[in-house]
Amino acid sequence: MKGWTILAAALAWLMPAAAPAQEPQTTYIHAGRLLADPATGRVLTNHTIAVRGGRIVELRDGFVGEGDVVDLSDSFVLPGLIDSHVHICHENGPDDALRRVRQTPADLAIDGVHYARITLEAGFTIVADVGEENDAIFALRNGIARGRIVGPRILAAGNALSPHGGPGDPAGYRDDVGHVLRRPSLCSGADDCRRVTRETIHRGADLIKIVATGSVLSDTAQGLGQVFTDEEMRAIVETAHALGRRVTAHGHEAGAINAFLRAGGDSIEHGTNLDAESIRLFRANNAWLVPTLLAGDTVTRWGNDPNSGFSAAIREKALLVGPRMIDSTRRAHAGGVRIAFGTDSSVSRHGENAREFGLLVQAGLTPLEAIQAATVNAADHLGIADQAGTIAAGRAADIVAVRGDPLADVRVLERVSFVMRDGRIYRR
Ligand SMILES: [Zn+2]
């Protein structure tokens, strides 16, 4: 016993006394104009946002606090922007076929480090990556969450689910090469799709993305119609929901979009061709539309340029899709469909995500509605409304600012002057 007492005394002498717990520092942001809750549309003037430990702790009338003060008294301050459709580890181009053969998941992750930084600096504090190689995107997401890398918070779907022979199956290669490039997210038949859904979630997916129709950038002439059977889509949705994950679908043609919504799917990406039944189903299911007008705008330009380097099959589909997207979004919006902001950045260049705002306004949204799509709506769509989308006590301190008034000219959001994510400043 005595030996233990001596050992304990020696250890006590060796160990430094515990330092008194340090109060995290408070930062006071002086906001000249403040859209704290885009849902209300109310713009406050001369308010202080107190931030501590990565969270918003208080909103106060007037400019108060001293010490660590951020002077945005000449700026318009709003919640960090959310893009619910990116592929942050690559950018598409006419050399995609070669890139897919050459790039390892490590290459993708390292490119992702670069694109993540410029996306955050453009004011996007949260993104959903809806289709990227598991090893690359999960490592990038986790590295950012651990504070090793600068970037937006990422919610990641991992590899998108596609049927064999569907748009997720590598096309345009000799058979043996195409087989090597296949990802583990191809499935055929309801049971197989249940297995792949479970495996994708087990591997680390925050949400499930499926490719419900043909895709513009898949190098086949198979069109843009439904590729999964109704039964396969039901199996995926039921399995994902049972495991607490939402399911979003890439969808161009109305028939497939309607089948996915009938299967209980949570949201549609692109929504190029919507009919009256689609709009009815969106509303009945409280589902979200993520229009990705910027992708439509980008591929239309490729489609019209015979020297773009893209194959004739791709250019033909691009010209079918691009011009219809704005019209479909206009009809959906007029019909009361809930819209969440997403760009499909990778088709367009990373860091230019905010160009989507101007296109949403062209499709009939007011500037305030476009801002709601990228804040409160996207947060709700992604299941994080209790953490993000508004500037309020208890929320993550994700805050951006612009010069000028985005409610008068939404395109000022293409030039953010201040970015804070989880209480840390990345642009000032
Ligand atoms: Zn996409």
- Calculate the dihedral angle through the C-alpha atoms of 323, 326, 332, 334, rounding to the nearest 10 degrees: -130
Q: Is residue 6 part of a domain?
A: no
Per DSSP, helices labelled H in 243-311 are: 254-262, 276-285, 293-303
Q: Is residue 21 part of a domain?
A: no
Shared-domain flag, residues 304 and 414: no
> How does pLDDT run across 51-72, given as a tens digit for each residue?
999 999 999 999 999 999 999 9
Confidence check: pLDDT of 2 > 80 = no
Å from CA of 150 to ligand 1 middle: 23
Domain-ending residue, one of 361, 381, 401: 381
Q: Are strands 288-290 and 338-339 parallel, antiparallel or unpaired?
A: parallel
Confidence check: pLDDT of 12 > 70 = no
Å from CA of 400 to ligand 1 middle: 25
Å from CA of 133 to ligand 1 middle: 13
> How does pLDDT run across 374-415, given as a tens digit for each residue?
999 999 999 999 999 999 999 999 999 999 999 999 999 999
CB 289 within 8 A of CB 268: yes
Give every strand in the sheet of 81-86, ordered side by side.
Answer: 81-86, 124-129, 153-156
Q: Are strands 424-427 and 416-421 parallel, antiparallel or unpaired?
A: antiparallel
Shared-domain flag, residues 376 and 291: yes
Confidence band (pLDDT; 50, 70, 90) for 275? very high
Shared-domain flag, residues 278 and 328: yes
Centroid of chain to Cα 104: 23
Q: Is residue 406 part of a domain?
A: yes
Å from CA of 112 to ligand 1 middle: 15
Confidence band (pLDDT; 50, 70, 90) for 8? low
Cβ partners under 8 Å of residue 7, min gap 6: none
Confidence band (pLDDT; 50, 70, 90) for 265? very high
Shared-domain flag, residues 53 and 137: no
CB 236 within 8 A of CB 206: no
CB 407 within 8 A of CB 43: yes
Can you give the CATH number for the domain in which 92 is found?
A: 3.20.20.140
Confidence check: pLDDT of 13 > 80 = no
Task: State the DSSP H helix or E strand holding residue 117, giving kind and residue range, or none if neither.
Answer: helix 105-121
Shared-domain flag, residues 343 and 202: yes
Å from CA of 347 to ligand 1 middle: 8
Shared-domain flag, residues 144 and 49: no
Domain that holds residue 415: 26-80+391-427
Q: Is residue 17 part of a domain?
A: no
Q: 382-386 long-range contacts, Cβ below 8 Å, gap at least 24?
A: 382/82, 382/84, 382/126, 382/128, 382/155, 382/207, 382/246, 382/340, 383/246, 384/126, 384/155
Q: Is residue 14 part of a domain?
A: no
DSSP calls for 1-66:
-HHHHHHHHHHHHHSPPPPPPPPPPEEEEEEEEE-S-TTTTPPEEEEEEEEETTEEEEEEESS---
Å from CA of 155 to ligand 1 middle: 14
Å from CA of 175 to ligand 1 middle: 25
Q: Is residue 219 part of a domain?
A: yes
pLDDT score of 1: 43
Q: Is 213 helix (H, G, I), strand (E, B) or coil?
A: strand
Tally the domains of the chain.
2
Shared-domain flag, residues 34 and 179: no
What percentage of the chain has pLDDT greater than the value 90?
Answer: 82
Mean pLDDT taken over the chain: 93
> How does pLDDT run across 220-264, given as a tens digit for each residue?
767 788 999 999 999 999 999 999 999 999 999 999 999 999 999
Shared-domain flag, residues 223 and 277: yes
Q: Is residue 87 part of a domain?
A: yes
Domain-ending residue, one of 381, 399, 418: 381
Confidence check: pLDDT of 48 > 90 = yes
What residue has token string 């008068």?
408
CB 105 within 8 A of CB 148: no
Å from CA of 59 to ligand 1 middle: 37
* Burial of 394 per CB tally in 10 Å (0-12, 13-18, 19+): exposed
User: What protein residues have CB closer than 5 angstroms to ion ligand 1?
Assistant: 344
Q: Is residue 271 part of a domain?
A: yes
Can you give the CATH number for the domain in which 35 is found?
A: 2.30.40.10
Task: State the DSSP H helix or E strand holding residue 380, giving kind and residue range, or none if neither.
Answer: helix 378-381
Shared-domain flag, residues 404 and 264: no
Give CA–CA dist 11/166, Å, rounded: 65
Shared-domain flag, residues 241 and 360: yes
pLDDT score of 15: 52
Å from CA of 350 to ligand 1 middle: 13
Shared-domain flag, residues 41 and 135: no
Shared-domain flag, residues 377 and 228: yes
CB 125 within 8 A of CB 423: no
Residue 202 token pair: 């087990």
pLDDT score of 314: 83
pLDDT score of 315: 86
Å from CA of 4 to ligand 1 middle: 63
